Chain A
Amino acid sequence: MKQIFLLLTILIFSSLHSDEEKSLYSFNSEEDHQRFVNLSKELRCPKCQSSSLSGSNSPISKDLKNQIQELILEGKTDQEIKEYLLVRYGDYILYEPRFNSSTIVLWYGPFFILILVLGVLFFWNIRKNKDS
C-alpha cells in the first residue's frame, strides 16, 4: 500500500513538472512544442554530467533551452538545431552518441561481447558433452 502511494506521488509530481516546462516556453504550434520537449530530453546539460536539458534548472540549461526555442521559432529543423549545439558543445551534448570511429565500440561493443560469450558457452557445452 505504502509503495503504491509513493508511486502515485511520484507520478503526480512528475506530471506537474512537465506541465510547468510546457507553460514556460511558447510556440506557434503544438507540433513545435512537442519538438522542443523532445529536443530538451535528447540533449544533455553540459554543466551537470547526467541530466537532460529538460531535467535541469542550471543557468546554462535555461540558456540552451531559450536558444532552442528561438531556433525553432526561426524555423530550424531538429537536425540543424543539434548541429548548432554540436559545433559549440561537442558530442557530449547528445544523449544518443553519433556513429563514428570513436563511438564504434559503444555501438557494436555489446553485440561483440554477446557473440563472444555465446561462443564460449557453445564450446563449453560441446566440451562438457564430450567429457560425459
Chain B
Amino acid sequence: MNSYFTKLPLIAFIGLVLFLLIFLKDDNQELKSVLIDKDFPEFNLPSLDGKNNLNTLSFEDAPFIINVWATWCITCRVEHPFLMELKEKSIIPVYGINYKDDRSKALELLDRTGDPFEFSIFDYKGTLAMDLGVYGAPETFLVGRDGLIKVRHTGALTPEVWNEKFIKHLGN
C-alpha cells in the first residue's frame, strides 16, 4: 500500500504523457464543420459568367459536390485535374463557388485549363462562403441524397481524400 502511494506521482506522470501523446498527435488543422447534416445555406448570387442568378434551386439532383475555388488559390490548381476527372467520368456533378476573385481572371483560367463545374457561383464578397464557415480555399462540400451537407473538406481534393471521405456518401 505504501509503495502504491509513493509511486502515484510516477503513475500520474505517465498518464499525463500518454494523454498528451494521444491528443497532441492529432494536429489536424481542419475544423469540424457545424454544418454537417444541415441544409445548404440559402443564397442569391450571380453565376461567374454573369448570365444567370443562382440560388439553392439551381442545383440538380443530389448528391453533388461544391468546390470553393479562386485564381489566387494555388492549391486549387493541384486538385483541378481531379475535379476534371470527376466531371469527365460523370462520377458526380461538381459545382463551384468562385471565392473573392477577379471575374475575368477566373473565366480566363477556366477557359485555359478546363471547366470542371456545372456552373460557378460568383461570390465576390464571400457572403455564401461565410455562411458555409469557409476560412480559405480550396474547400469542398458534399451534399448528400437527402439534400443535407454530408462532408466538408478543407485543402486539396485528392483521389485519396475522395476515397476516404466522400465515396461512402454517394449511395448506389
Which residues of A are in contact with B by a Cβ distance under 8 Å? 46-47, 49, 59-60, 63-64, 67, 86-90, 92, 120, 123-124, 127
Which residues of B are in contact with A by a Cβ distance under 8 Å? 2, 5, 8, 29, 31-35, 100, 126, 130-136
Closest Cβ neighbor of A92 among chain B residues:
B31
A89 and B31 contact, Cβ closer than 8 Å, known pairs A47-B135, A60-B136, A120-B8: yes
A127 to B32, CA, bound (A): 49
A90 and B5 contact, Cβ closer than 8 Å, known pairs A46-B135, A63-B126: no
Q: In the complex, what's the smallest C-beta–C-beta distance from A2 to chain B, in angstroms?
A: 35
The 3 A-B pairs of least Cβ separation, nearest first, read: A46-B135, A90-B34, A88-B133
Contacting A89 at CB < 8 Å: which of B29, B34, B100, B136? Answer: B34
Check A67 against B32 for contact (C-beta < 8 Å).
Answer: no
A87 to B2, CA, bound (A): 53
Inside 8 A of B34's CB, which chain A residues have their CB? Answer: 86-90
Inside 8 A of A49's CB, which chain B residues have their CB? Answer: 29
Inside 8 A of A86's CB, which chain B residues have their CB? Answer: 34
A11 to B43, CA, bound (A): 45
